[in-house]
Chains A and B, each alone.
Chain A
Amino acid sequence: MITGALRQTGRLFALSAEVSRAIFKRPFQFREFVEQFWFLASVTILPAALVSIPFGAVIALQVGSLTQQLGAQSFTGGASVLAVVQQASPLIVALLISGAGGSAICADLGSRTIREELDAMEVMGVSPVQRLVVPRVLAAMGVAVLLNGLVSVVGILGGYFFNVYLQDGTPGAYLSSFSSLAQLPDLYVSELKAVIFGFIAGIVAAYRGLNPRGGPKGVGDAVNQSVVITFLLLFFVNMVITGVYLQIVPPKGG
């Protein structure tokens, strides 16, 4: 049981290493990359925007009500923006990339595997990792970074709207607390998280897709597992990155 889990983990890392190496190998599959990028973007942009409005609003409302009780109402803007940019946005992006994009990647690779298409490719001396997995992982990372920007902006706008119009906050306080608490590294770490989460979502989806167990049912299970595994990994990695970030980057307000 434990050795089984360790073996899976090891093979997952081995695939990550192989993909990282294959990224720099020519020829780069540009066409496949563009197609996958377009596909991922098209299935994630709209849901991401729709999710981020209520998410930004919820944070704004919650933080707003809390700060109101503490008498620190003027800091609502800064606090909710930081929560959106640093935590909510990368996670929303990752959940969507994995849930909407990763599941499709996993199902696609999985059904190709059981139809022996990938075997056929290998027989023809073409590495499926370089040909299929690398473009998908890179597309997931790229879309994650760009989507992260979108979600941050939409989330902040949502928070602003709810704070100013529903909680009677003032636009001035919202913006000035924002600039007094937030700093550029907050944005950097947010984008860094997005890149890493995109990588994880892509790798896990590809790994489960390349190793489905037994027939069409196995592909279904693989898709299911890939999403669950990605979520578990994401929240864990997020915790580690946040912990490290809070240790090494001094907060601006202090």
Chain B
Amino acid sequence: MDLPIYYTRAEYIETDTGNKVSRRATISGPQNIILGGKTIIASGAIIRGDLRRTGPGHAVVISLGRYCLIGEGCVMRPPYKTYRGNFNYYPMKIGDHVHIGANSIVEAATIGNHVEIGKNCIIGKFTIIKDCAKIADNTVIPPNTVVPALALFAGSPGRFVEDLPESTPEMVEAQTKQYYTRFQPLPQER
């Protein structure tokens, strides 16, 4: 029912697994970033895959699941801390069907499946967001916060507002899938 969201074909790179990544997004250290498929990275997003754990060998810094959306101007940065005298970055893991609104800054450690994050949010370092949680627009989640499953958080600092309905997983899944099908190149370019 909803209208398609058009983009110019020249701007987006589409991978074999259906990921759509804007050429205007800044992807640092792409070898350390995993996209699950059908994930959209909008223009102006910054993904810091280069901030990897010190040490030899291959390291996954940021992993995203299927049907995710990184909105315009988002910053995805792995969390860091000094533990036992050593400064280090830690990996960021994001599940399936996660939408992150425009201009949000995310330094979470783990984000579950079916999570919605609004626009202009700040998700502090080492935040853990469980499945089906929702972060309202303009929320500031301080570092080390835990957001339980099926909870709506809002405000600064972000606090629990209400329980989300039991049908949230199905709703979010339908929404994210629909968003992916709506997101298509301009008809005259096809």
A and B interact physically: no
